[in-house]
Amino acid sequence: MLLKRLEIQGFKSFADRVELAFNSGLTVIVGPNGSGKSNIADAIRWVLGEQSVKNLRGSRLEDVIFSGSVKRKPVGMAEVSLTLDNSNGRFPLEFNEITVTRRVYRNGESEFLINKTPCRLKDIHELFLDTGLGRDAYSIIGQGRVEEILNARPEDRRSIIEEAAGIVRYRMRKLEAEKKLQETEVDLVRVEDIISELE
Ligand code: ATP
């Protein structure tokens, strides 16, 4: 799967709009300590739907918004857009490129967009299910993650293998279907009660 572009504005140390274009092959990001290399990985995690502030190395939701520096005032909004190549139809959308955008404002309001159309966080999660790229997937390996995977309980390790095997989508659908079945059974019992009351 080819990442084509990452646009960042107001996210962590990136007050101004920055665009990174990824070519095919390997991309290496180098820079002095504290220059924002890890913030780029955080931006990718965040736009893919990461909800844990801890995984984004913060303590509050608004820690992802540029909080000001000696020369710059804080900004009110963080926005990240990630563009992926879809010329091979890997994603079930009829576009050659897919751009996922996430915004958050200081008042806590936030939004997600797929190709500029507002969507739910659930849609972003579903889009990336079984691609290895979504939340909790294995394509972003942070420091300590390899050790964490090796020491994980077998059932936790299994979920990574299931994501790679592409069966998470079906597992989720099965769980949703089972939930619906249970709800329908409860409704049926209620209908039977009403019928017996009427008889
Ligand atoms: P290292 O090589 O030491 O791991 P790095 O290049 O990965 O460093 P990052 O961890 O990406 O650096 O960036 C850290 C910098 O980002 C710090 O200077 C920190 O003050 C800044 N930073 C993080 N969050 C914000 C924010 N919300 N507003 C402004 N600056 C921020």
Asked whether residue 198 carries a pLDDT value surpassing 70, the answer given is: yes
Q: What is the pLDDT of residues 99-154, one digit of tens each?
A: 999 999 999 999 999 999 999 999 998 898 877 777 666 778 777 778 888 888 99
> What values do phi and psi take at 20, rounded to 5?
-110, 125
Say what the pLDDT of residue 176 is: 94
- In ligand 1, the atom with minimum distance to the C-alpha of 31 is 6
Where do the structural domains in the chain lie, given as residue ranges? 3-153, 167-199
38 is in an annotated binding site: yes
Which of 130, 138, 127 lies closest to 163 in space, CA to CA?
Answer: 130
Whole-number average pLDDT of the chain: 90
Phi-psi label, residue 85: left if phi above 0, alpha if psi -120 to 50, beta otherwise: beta
* 3-153 is a CATH 3.40.50.300 domain: yes
ipTM of the shown complex: 0.96
Pocket of ligand 1 (CB under 6 A): 12-13, 31, 33-39, 63, 65-67
* Cα(33) to centroid(ligand 1), Å: 8
Say what the pLDDT of residue 136 is: 65
Q: What percent of the chain has pLDDT over 90?
A: 60
Say what the pLDDT of residue 143 is: 73
Say how many Å lie between the first and final Cα of the chain, rounded: 62
- pTM to 2 decimals? 0.81
What average pLDDT score do residues 81-99 get? 92
